[in-house]
Each structure stands twice: as C-alpha cells, then as structure tokens.
Amino acid sequence: QTEHQFSKRVRASNFTREKSRTHMRQAFQSVVSQKRFQDHTLGIEATLQGDQVKRYGELGELPVESLGSIGTAIQDEWFLTSNLELRSKLYGEFHNTFDQGWVAQSGISWYATPQLTWRADISRTRRTPGIEELYLFFDHSELGYQTTGNTELQPEILHSFRLSGVWTSAEDRVGFE
C-alpha cells in the first residue's frame, strides 16, 4: 500500500494560504501459486488493486474518486525437449471504470547452447489510465492556469512481437540480449 500527499501554499500580502491539497492512496495485492509437473509448470495468479484520490483547492473540495480492479491469470510453461520451452499466459481483469479486459502472451525459447538462447514472443496487452491521469488537480490560477486530469481517457491496447537472442557467459556473470 502506498500513500502520497502533497499541498501547495501561496504567499500574498504577507500571509500564507493553502492553495491546493491532494491525498492519494493505492493498494495492490497479488497472490501466485505454481505447481511443477514433470514436463510443465502451471501457475495461477489473482490480483486486487484499489486507488483513491481526495482533492481540495481554492474553489472547494472536489469529489473523492476511486478506481478498483480484480484480475486472474493462468500461465503454463511447457518443456517440450531439454532445449525447447513454450510459454503462454492469459490474464482477465474486471475494472470498476473500464469494464473487463484481457492480456494474452505466448512465447518460445530455444536453448541453442548453454550460453545462447533464441526467443520469440507475441503479446496483446491492455493499459488502463491511472488515477493521476484521470483526476490530477493542480491549481496554479495565480499564474493563470489549472492542470486537471482527463476523465475521457480510455484503455490502450498494444500488440507486439519480439525476436531476441540472449547470450550469457559460462559463469553467468555477463549477459547480452
């Protein structure tokens, strides 16, 4: 759990007044369970996240805003041969503001030598806007502006493909990807 609190004070006519105050809380918990079988490892993950922001400015107190999500994932790693590994993961999330979404990842690794590994990965990810992006409030009206979050933001979807080679020294002290 993390908490952030910041406030801004201004000085005018020899007295100081509070200009704005923001208090944010965030809690995140993830629980993972893995079971290793003879030729694969199965993993299950559950996540829970909550965010809250309270804001106050010269114009008064703004509504308290909260975000929350709960998710679950299943991941499997198959050891097809002694030098070939296949990975896949599917993650589903339910969000109180952005409904449900999912993430999928899959990859394969070939251990060509003890020091050289070739990898290929493909994924679809989803990033939801954070509470600061949505509800930021910074009152700087004495200079002519206020900064506020954008409540119209929507989740971003990214599709990616990665091909890489990984080399490590025989002592596993130095590596490059």
Q: Kindly report, residue by residue over 62-97, the tens digit of the pLDDT.
A: 889 999 999 999 999 999 998 999 999 999 999 999
Higher-pLDDT residue of 43 and 13 is 43
Residue 118 neighbours by CB under 8 Å, 6+ apart = 109, 110, 112, 164, 165, 166
Distance in angstroms (rounded) separating the CA atoms of residues 164 and 89: 19
Q: How far apart are CA 36 and CA 26, in angstroms?
A: 33
Alpha-carbon Rg for the chain, nearest whole angstrom, is 23
On the question of pLDDT at 129 being above 70, the answer is yes
Q: pLDDT category, 46, cuts 50, 70, 90?
A: very high
Strand partners, 39: none
* The predicted structure's pLDDT at residue 34: 95
Q: Exposed, middle or buried by CB within 10 Å (0-12, 13-18, 19+), for 106?
A: middle
pLDDT number for residue 176: 83
Which pLDDT belongs to residue 18?
65
Q: What is the pLDDT of residue 78?
A: 95
